[in-house]
Amino acid sequence: MRKYVFVAIALSLPSLAIADALTDAVKTRQEHMKTYGKNIGMLAKMAKGELDYDADAAQAAADTIVEYSTKDQSGYWLPGTSSEDMPGVSYALPALWTDGAKAGEIAKEFVANAAALQAVAGAGQGEMAKALGAAGKNCNDCHKSFQAKKD
Ligand code: HEC
């Protein structure tokens, strides 16, 4: 009897550590996305005139978006962390892993559009707004295909 208890503990320890690592990976990528959201949100307000356009602030936001878009994200889009694997924690649809090529295409386009945004973010409200539209479309395209709805 005792022996089985030990075996159970020995088996559950590494799997707990793995579960923690997977949860951390999901939290980290959600923080990454929130950083996009915060910065895109501010630029969108400036584009719509809800917030006064400020060249320095717009440039800083675009710089941050580019910094994040070019980060190595392989450590947190781990297999086993889809919305089906971790309901209520992850909102990344399984399609992200089964159709990774499509996600990769959108991500590649986004990196290019984020760089284009960075190039003009400080050059005036109109130019920033135009470039923001292209990058923002990539956010939406990816979410439409790969983000589960929160209910
Ligand atoms: C290549 C695909 C892809 C791109 C590009 C992308 N996202 Fe996401 N985003 C996702 C996925 C998948 C999730 C769900 C992640 C999870 O819950 O594990 C997500 C989640 C989010 C969230 C919710 C985070 C949370 O609190 O749980 C926000 C906000 C967000 N994205 C904003 C953005 C913005 C803004 C952009 C563009 C600047 C963007 N995303 C670009 C795929 C993408």
| Residues 100 and 11: beta-carbon distance below 8 Å | no
CA distances from 95 to 67, 70, 92 (A): 26, 22, 8
What count of residues does the chain have? 151
Q: Which residue has the tokens 């559009």?
A: 113
Residue 18 vs residue 7, higher pLDDT: 18
Q: Residue 5's pLDDT is what?
A: 60
Which residue ranges form the domains of the chain, and what is each CATH number? 2-146 (1.20.120.10)
Sorted by sequence, the CB contacts under 8 Å of residue 43 that are 6+ apart come out as 58, 61, 62, 117, 121, 128, 132
Residue 147 DSSP one-character state: B
- List 92's β-bridge partners, or say none: 147
Nearest by Cα to 77 from 7, 6, 147, 13: 147
Neighbours of 135 (CB within 10 A): 25
Secondary element (H or E) of residue 74: none
Residue whose CA is closest, atom 39 of ligand 1?
139
Mean pLDDT value across residues 93-107: 96
- Per-residue pLDDT at 8 exceeds 70: no
- Per-residue pLDDT at 112 exceeds 80: yes
Residue 85 DSSP one-character state: T
Look up residue 118 and give its amino acid: Q
Q: Is 63 helix (H, G, I), strand (E, B) or coil?
A: helix
CA distances from 23 to 67, 72, 80, 81, 86 (A): 24, 18, 10, 8, 8
Q: Cα 43 from chain centroid?
A: 17
Of 73, 143, 145, 149, best ligand 1 pocket probe by most atoms within 8 Å of the beta carbon: 143
CA of 12 to the centre of ligand 1 (A): 32
pLDDT tens digits, 50-63: 999 999 999 999 99
